[in-house]
Structure 1
Amino acid sequence: MPELFTSLYQQFLTTTPLEWLATLSGFLCVLLAARQHILNWPISIISVSIYAYIFFQNKLYGDTVLQFYFLLTAVYGWYYWSTSDTQDNRPITGFTTRQMLATVSLTLLLAAILGGLLRFFTDTDVPFADGFCTAVSFVAQFLMTRKVLQNWLMWVLVDLLYIPLYIHKDLLLTAVLYIAFAIIAWKGYRAWQLAYQK
C-alpha cells in the first residue's frame, strides 16, 4: 500500500503544466454545463484542444478523435444554446424509455465498432476500453448539446469508467478530474431533473 501512494505521488509530481491547464479548464467547463451556463462551451474548446494532444501522446486514439468531436459539438452547443426563442436558455428535454433503449443499443454498437478498429489498426493496449468510453462520450456529448436530461446519466457512467483507464496511462491528475466529473455529472443530473420537472 505505501508503494501505491508513493507511485501516485510521483505521478502528481510529474504532471505537466499542459495537463494542469487541460484539467482545470475541463473542470470549469463541466461545472458550468451542470449550471446550464453558456460559457461552458468556449471553455470546453480550450480544454479539448489541449487534451487532444495529451491523449495522442499517450496512445489513447479513441479519446484523441473524441476531442475533435467535442470541439465541433462545443461550437454547435454554443450556437444552439444561444439561439433560444425565450430569454432563458433552451429548455431541457427528456427521453422516453424507448428512446433511451435505442440510444443504449446505438452506443453499444458504436463501442464494438470503435474497439475493433482500435484493436486492428492502432498500437493501443486498451482498444475496447478506449472504444467503449469514446462511444459513450460521443453520444452523451450530443445529448448535452440538445439539452436531453439523460446525458448526465451517461456521463456518470463513463466518468467512472475513465478513472482506472487514466490511472493505467499514468494520467493521475486527469483520473482525479474524472472523479470530480462523476460527482458534478450526478449533481448536474439532479439539477436538470428539477428544472425539467418545473
Structure 2
Amino acid sequence: MIETLLGATLTIGGVPILVREIVGNIFGLLSAYGGMKRVVWAWPVGIIGNLLLFTVFLGGVFHTPQDLDLYGQAGRQVMFLIVSCYGWYQWAKASKQGVKESDELDPSRSIVSEPAAVQPHWASTKERLGMLIVAVVGTLVCALIFQALGSWGPWADAWIFVGSMLATFGMAKGWTEFWLIWIGVDIVGVPLLLMAGYYPSAALYIFYAGFVLWGFFTWLKTQNSAKTH
C-alpha cells in the first residue's frame, strides 16, 4: 500500500506527475496561507508537505519520473522541517501568551478566534546585514557542495535553498522582509523547476509569486496599523 501511494502518478498533457508532488505542494500552500494569517497550525501543516516533497526532489534516489536529484530542493525540505519546529515553538508560545492576555480582558475572546501568533515588524539594520551575508556566503558554499554532489542546476539550487532558509527563519521571527525573500526564491525557482520537469512545483512557485505579494502587503498593513494604535 505504501509503495502504491508513493508511486501513484497522474498523466497530464502526456507527462507523468507524482501525486505526492501535488499533495506536498498543496500542504505547502496551506502552510503559506496560515503564515499570512499568523496562526500556529501553519507550521505542522508545512512539515507534512516537507516530508512528501523531500522524496520528490531526490528523484534519482526514489526513481521519480524526472529521475533527477535536486539536492538544494531536497535539502531545503529538511531545513524547513528544522526551522518549522523552531517557528512552531515560537508561535505557540506567543499565541498562548496572547490567549492569556486576551482572557484577562475578555474571557470569551480565545473561544471565538485564535489570536495572531506574531506581530509583523521590520528587521533591524544589523539583522538585514546578517541576512545579506548569509545569502551571499551561503549560496556560494552550497553551490560548491551541490556541484560536488552532482546536483542538477547547483547555483540556482543553492540560492533556492539559502533563500528559503532565510525566508522561513524570517517568518518565525516576524520580519516582514521574509515575503520579499520568497519573491527572490520564486524568480529563480520557476525556470529551474520547469527545465527539470517538476511542473506542479513550478506552477506553485508561479502562484506563490502573487500570493507572497498579497502576504507582504497584508503583513505591512498589520504592521502599520499597530503603529497607529
**What is the TM-score normalised by the length of structure 1?**
0.89
Residues 34 and 184, structure 1, Cα contact 8 Å, conserved in 2: no
What is the match of residue 4 of structure 1? none
Which residue of structure 1 lines up, in the alignment, with residue 90 of structure 2?
Answer: 80
User: In the aligned structure 1, how far is the partner of 2:218 from the partner of 2:20?
Assistant: 31
Structure 2 residue runs without a partner (length 5+): 1-11, 60-67, 100-114
List runs of 5+ in structure 1 lacking aligned partners.
Answer: 1-7
Which deviations, in whole Å up to 9, do the C-alpha atoms of 1:158-184 show, x marking residues without a partner?
A: 022111111111011110011111111
* Aligned-partner Cα distance in 1 for 2:208–2:22: 15
Alignment of 1:55-134 (within 5 A): 55-57=57-59, 58-84=68-94, 85-87=97-99, 88=115, 89-120=117-148, 122-134=149-161
1:174 aligned residue: 201
Query: Can you list the C-alpha shifts for 1:114-161, whole angstroms capped at 9, x where unaligned?
Result: 0011112x1223111111111111111111111111001001110221
Give the CA RMSD over aligned residues.
Answer: 1.5
RCO higher in 1 or 2 (8 Å CA, sep ≥ 6)?
A: 1
State yes or no: 1:142 paired with 2:169: yes
- Which one of the candidate residues 31, 36, 41 is aligned to 2:38? 36
One-letter identity of the residue aligned with 1:38:
V
Separation (CA, whole Å) in 1 of partners of 2:45 and 2:120? 21
- Paired AA for residue 195 in structure 2: H
Counterpart-to-counterpart distance in 2, 1:131 and 1:45: 21
How does 1:3-42 map onto structure 2 within 5 Å? 9-11=13-15, 14-42=16-44
Paired residue for 1:190, among 217, 224, 229?
217
Residues in 1 aligned to 2:213 and 2:17: alpha-carbon distance in whole angstroms: 27
Distance 1:82 1:149 in 2: 19
What CA distance in whole angstroms lies between the structure 2 residues aligned with 1:48 and 1:96?
A: 30
CA–CA distance in structure 2, aligned partners of residues 72 and 61 of structure 1: 16
TM-score, normalised to structure 2, is: 0.77
